[in-house]
Amino acid sequence: MQAEPDNDQPTILIVDDERVNRSMLAELLGQQYRVLLAKDGPSALTIAARESHRLLLVLLDVSMPGMNGYEVLTQLRKQEATAGIAIIFITGQSDAAAEEYGLRLGAADYVSKPIRPAVVSVRVRNQIDLALQRQALQRLAQVDGLTNLANRRHFDDMLQRCHRMCLRRNDPLGLALIDIDHFKLYNDHYGHVQGDEALKQVAGTLARHARRPYDLAARFGGEEFALILPGHADALEVVERFRQEVQAMAIAHAASTTAPALTVSCGVLTVHCGPADSMEDCLRRADELLYDAKTHGRNRVCATSIGL
């Protein structure tokens, strides 16, 4: 059961076995937040897993039949997707030892019953503000400032995660390394500022080719880009379309010995995942394919599959 969804509002999950408490908190917080409700621990875990990308805060009753609030918190912390969600415990127990135990488990705050609406509102707002600040900082730490693509650190992180996901789902993992051809000559000819503009244009085109939810376009470093395409058996086609689109943008490159326009070379590896795969080895293999594309004339894609 959930209130009317609103994409712009922060999402809060209220977990309480007593209907009257759920209703009271939902009414109190429903104006400012998107509120989801759960009546027990297992359904709280299901909702949290499904909504992990949007869920900022869980208001969690400690005493519930079956699975208590402490167990719910412990389970949430075990899953990567839900580990960072802030928790406020709601409890009828007023002893300091119980409060200390909950805080030690990782709760952000504590609210005692009977619920005082004004206090709950402020405590919730404080935690939501903190969660939004954390999210903003996290985003900044993951983005390349010039191109707005994922930065190298985020790319490395996501490559490991996507590998684990593809392994679980028995899906192929597409991985591409991309390098702008003769970019030193471009900078030398047109200047560094125009070089930056060209990098942004290529990055924008690459981002449009990362279409599915888990696809990731990244700046790998300098004038090198990367693409993670989880679940794509057609990574070669995706990257080939990108290469053609860059060429069709016709960004003049008078100093290039490959074409009169800016072009890219690409190495594409499709990994049929196994538990022993090393992502470092896969990147090395993709880099060799990129090198092949460079040595075979540039403005082309070289691809192979491994692990079949």
Ligand X SMILES: Nc1nc2c(ncn2[C@@H]2O[C@H](COP(=O)(O)OP(=O)(O)OP(=O)(O)O)[C@@H](O)[C@H]2O)c(=O)[nH]1
Site for ligand X (CB under 6 A): which residue of 34, 182, 232, 243? Answer: 182
Of 33 and 225, CB closest to ligand X: 225
Q: Could you say which of 223, 224, 240, 288 is catalytic?
A: 223
Cβ neighbours around 119 below 10 Å, total: 11
Q: Given candidates 116, 139, 184, 211, which one binds ligand X under the rule CB under 6 A?
A: 184
DSSP 119-156: HHHHHHHHHHHHHHHHHHHHHHHHB-TTT-SB-HHHHH
Q: Do 17 and 61 meet the contact criterion of CB atoms below 8 Å apart?
A: yes
Q: Which is nearer to ligand X, 116 or 192 (CB)?
A: 192
φ, ψ dihedrals at 251, nearest 5°: -80, 110
Q: What secondary structure letter does DSSP report for 10?
A: P
Residues 210-269 that bind ligand X (CB under 6 A): 222-223
Does 223 qualify as catalytic in the annotation? yes
> Strand, helix or coil at 205?
helix
302, amino acid identity? C
Nearer to ligand X, 85 or 178 (CB): 178
Q: Does residue number 187 form part of the binding site for ligand X (CB under 6 A)?
A: yes
Place of tokens 């939004």: 132
- Which of 16, 109, 144, 179 is in the footprint of ligand X by CB under 6 A? 179
Q: Interacting stretch for ligand X, rule CB under 6 A, among 85-93, 153-161, 180-188, 247-255?
A: 180-188
Of 149, 181, 226, 267, the residue at the interface with ligand X (CB under 6 A) is 181
Strands (E), 39-184: 55-61, 86-91, 109-112, 172-180
Element (H, E) at 69: helix 69-78
What would the x/- binding string for ligand X be over residues 108 to 147, using CB under 6 A? --------------------------------------x-
Residue 131 or 293 with smaller CB distance to ligand X: 293
Residue written as token pair 């491994």: 306
Contact residues toward ligand X (CB under 6 A) are 146, 179-185, 187, 192, 195-196, 199, 222-223, 294
